[in-house]
Amino acid sequence: MPLSLHDTYAREKREFTPRDPSRVTLYVCGPTVYNYAHIGNARPVVVFDVLFRLLRRRYGDEAVVYARNITDVDDKINAKAIEQGVPIGEITDKFAAIYEADMGALGALTPTLQPRATGHIDEMLDQIGRLVNAGSAYAAEGHVLFDTTSFPDYGKLSNRSLDDMIAGARVEVAPYKQNPADFVLWKPSKPGEPEWPSPWGPGRPGWHIECSAMIEAVLGLPIDIHGGGHDLTFPHHENEIAQGRCATHGGEYARYWMHNGFLTMDAEKMSKSLGNVLLVHDLVERWPGEVVRWALLSGHYRAPLNWTDALLEQAKTSLDRLYRVLSDLKRFLSGSAGLPVVDFANVEKLHEAAGTLSRLEDDLNTPAAMGGLFALADGIRAQLLLNSKADRQVLADHLGALQEAAGLMGFLAADPDAWFQGSADTGLKDKVEALIAARATARASKDWPEADRIRGELTALNVEVLDGPGGTATWRIKE
Ligand code: AMP
Ligand code: ZN
């Protein structure tokens, strides 16, 4: 089954073939680290994490190089550093660490490379120098600007003409520009802002050059896949292409372009100015990371996703259903010799039959792929219902296939008991543990009325006690 991906540049789904299957390159524009990431910012992280997992399965873990940059010099970072009277590094280190932890809580694998803009200023200056030499950029009043008229393909990614771009108010008008659509590669810093020396005067890089220079430096051009939110198509990615191609005399830049749709709340874009921002940091306090991840992947990545509490509730219900099967299976096994060795060929067959992989390979159709997880869980459930007649090999193989399919999307990584205990607060957990211990003591001294009384108390707390072999017991919050 080929992997097909929707390519923004081609405006259609295309079969993915890497330039070199032993080194598949993926780059996704990462965060500007000056505050907490909102749930919209997490959408590209989780979507491209699924792609990363899929590519690793296809080409091998070592063959896929995934870079996600960290923008650690920017107007907003500078403003915050000046406001707090600290160096920018203090702000950016703090929020880069928070970002990594929050995205980790959503089950996102750490990218292979996380280049920081300030670590690649020399490469940016080198790329700017080549653009100036090639006649694609010019210096003016301490700035260096890209001359958009020098690149005939400018606008091809976002499907806009130069006139459209100028009409759209997104281009900044400035006296030193030769053409209104020209954009900044280098600019002087304001007093108090960080600056680096350059042949055009001291200053700092523009945002777009960061990505094209880091891509060239850490991945090499051309790369296979470039991703980001669809708002980045213009001007950011359009400008990256112009820079990357002109600096390499027309060479290829990225072979496939992928863009995720926007996450909205009540049909409005999530943004700080609208005041409808939900932070990942807060959401993962209230919900298991996998629930938030499930909600993010419950719609196709290219479509807009409307974020509601109901979406999270549904995600929780879906994951509970899968974890309950795992929890029941674990209990079924606890009194016996465990499962037989999995038959890998059969696991692959079941995995394929469930359709998870083929749906993911069809332009990351995660909502359809989720259906495959339920099919596999139903296979386990059907065996468990047979009790002592359950076919242990069927259970082992279905479990293997379910774990593999879920792993591709980053689900079912938790212990099933911990999953159901997770919704209990620490006070309740302590109370339940104490009651279970007291019940064990009562049972050991054959005080059955007391043991029953305690079980009743646990039931009243909505806790189900699951007795295991040798007097051990575990528990979970009831459905
Ligand atoms: P920013 O920090 O604004 O540059 O955004 C980081 C990443 O999140 C970019 O890939 C954006 O396209 C993406 N992004 C920002 N807001 C949203 C949103 N509401 N929905 C989906 N993606 C978003
Ligand atoms: Zn970028």
Give pLDDT, residue 296: 98
Give pLDDT, residue 161: 81
Determine the distance separating the centroid of ligand 2 and the alpha carbon of 44, expressed in angstroms: 12
Task: Give 332 or 124, the one with higher predicted confidence.
Answer: 124
> What beta strand segments (E) does 176-294 contain?
183-187, 204-205, 223-229, 254-260, 263-265, 268-269
Instruction: State if residue 232 touches ligand 1 by the CB under 6 angstroms criterion.
Output: yes
Is pLDDT at 380 greater than 80 in this prediction? yes
Give pLDDT, residue 409: 98
Is pLDDT at 33 greater than 90 in this prediction? yes
The number of helices, as runs of H, and strands, as runs of E, in the chain is 17, 15
Is pLDDT at 220 greater than 60 in this prediction? yes
Instruction: Determine the residue of 36, 39, 43, 292 to mutate for testing ligand 1's pocket, defined as the one with the most ligand atoms within 8 A of the Cβ atom.
Output: 43
- Gyration radius of the chain's alpha carbons: 27
Q: Of ligand 1's atoms, which has the minimum distance to the CA of residue 29?
A: 10
Sign of the four-CA dihedral 282, 48, 56, 236: negative
Paired sense of beta strands 12-15 and 4-7, if any:
antiparallel
The CA-atom distances, in angstroms, between 129 and each of 71, 125, 177, 253, 262 are 21, 6, 18, 18, 36
CB 291 within 8 A of CB 414: no
**Cα(166)–Cα(144) distance, integer angstroms:** 20
Residue 256 has a CB neighbour count (10 Å cut-off) of 20
**Cα(219)–Cα(254) distance, integer angstroms:** 11
pLDDT, one tens digit per residue, over 155-191 is 999 998 877 776 665 566 788 899 999 999 999 999 8
Q: Of ligand 1's atoms, which has the minimum distance to the CA of residue 271?
A: 19
Is pLDDT at 42 greater than 60 in this prediction? yes
Determine the distance separating the centroid of ligand 2 and the alpha carbon of 69, expressed in angstroms: 8
Is pLDDT at 68 greater than 60 in this prediction? yes
Alpha helices in 235-365 (DSSP H): 238-247, 280-286, 289-297, 309-334, 344-354, 356-361
Q: What are the respective helix, strand and coil percentages of the chain, to the nearest 5? A: 55, 15, 30
The structure's pTM equals: 0.92
Is pLDDT at 261 greater than 80 in this prediction? yes
The CA-atom distances, in angstroms, between 376 and each of 234, 289, 358, 413, 420 are 42, 22, 15, 16, 20
**Cα(343)–Cα(336) distance, integer angstroms:** 20
Task: Give 475 or 349, the one with higher predicted confidence.
Answer: 349
CB 38 within 8 A of CB 264: no
Task: Give 427 or 55, the one with higher predicted confidence.
Answer: 55
Give pLDDT, residue 268: 77
Give pLDDT, residue 171: 63
Give pLDDT, residue 407: 97
Instruction: Determine the residue of 231, 266, 301 to mutate for testing ligand 1's pocket, defined as the one with the most ligand atoms within 8 A of the Cβ atom.
Output: 231
Q: What is the mean pLDDT of residues 73-90?
A: 92
Residue 211, Cβ density class (10 Å: 0-12 exposed, 13-18 middle, ≥19 buried): buried
- What confidence tier does 48 reach under pLDDT thresholds 50, 70, 90? very high
Give pLDDT, residue 125: 98
**Cα(177)–Cα(50) distance, integer angstroms:** 41
Q: Of ligand 1's atoms, which has the minimum distance to the CA of residue 228?
A: 10
Sign of the four-CA dihedral 161, 164, 168, 169: positive
Of 237, 117, 139, nearest to 184 (Cα)?
Answer: 139
